[in-house]
Amino acid sequence: SQQGEEDPQALSIQEGENATMNCSYKTSINNLQWYRQNSGRGLVHLILIRSNEREKHSGRLRVTLDTSKKSSSLLITASRAADTASYFCAFMDSNYQLIWGAGTKLIIKP
């Protein structure tokens, strides 16, 4: 299967703590992207990391990519209640299709 895998499935932390989510994939990729989805809403693009990059930052977001392990992580620092959402990784394969992980449900407790 080309599907991505994410862990944990759910993560509940206190406001102010850091949240780390992981994603693994099985095939070669062009890039890997992270999206956010608020409950019952659309998907919002957060950050993209290309296959030749190892780390990328955007505000409180930090993404790493290890192509040797076929894995990526998303770190949200200094979490806020508004970060509560589901986070999905999606990797772009050689056919430029986005293959999605199962998502991590993040709950930030105030």
Partner 1 sequence: EPEVTQTPSHQVTQMGQEVILRCVPISNHLYFYWYRQILGQKVEFLVSFYNNEISEKSEIFDDQFSVERPDGSNFTLKIRSTKLEDSAMYFCASNWPGLYEQYFGPGTRLTVT
How many Cβ atoms from other residues are within 10 Å of residue 78's Cβ? 11
- Check binding of 58 to partner 1 (CB under 8 A): no
User: Which residues touch 34 (CB under 8 Å, ≥6 apart)?
Assistant: 23, 46, 47, 48, 61, 63, 72, 74, 87, 88, 89, 90
Which listed range, 17-25, 26-34, 53-61, 77-85, lies at the site for partner 1 (CB under 8 A)?
26-34
Residue 105 backbone dihedrals phi, psi, to 5 degrees = -90, 115
Identify the residue whose tokens are 């992981």.
22
Minimum gap (Å) between residue 18 Cβ and partner 1: 25
- Check binding of 95 to partner 1 (CB under 8 A): yes
Query: Which one of 48, 61, 75, 107 is in contact with partner 1 (CB under 8 A)?
Result: 48
Minimum gap (Å) between residue 97 Cβ and partner 1: 5
The DSSP code for 4 is -
- Check binding of 57 to partner 1 (CB under 8 A): no
Which stretches of the chain bind partner 1, using CB under 8 A?
3, 30-31, 33, 35, 41-45, 48, 88, 90, 92, 95-103
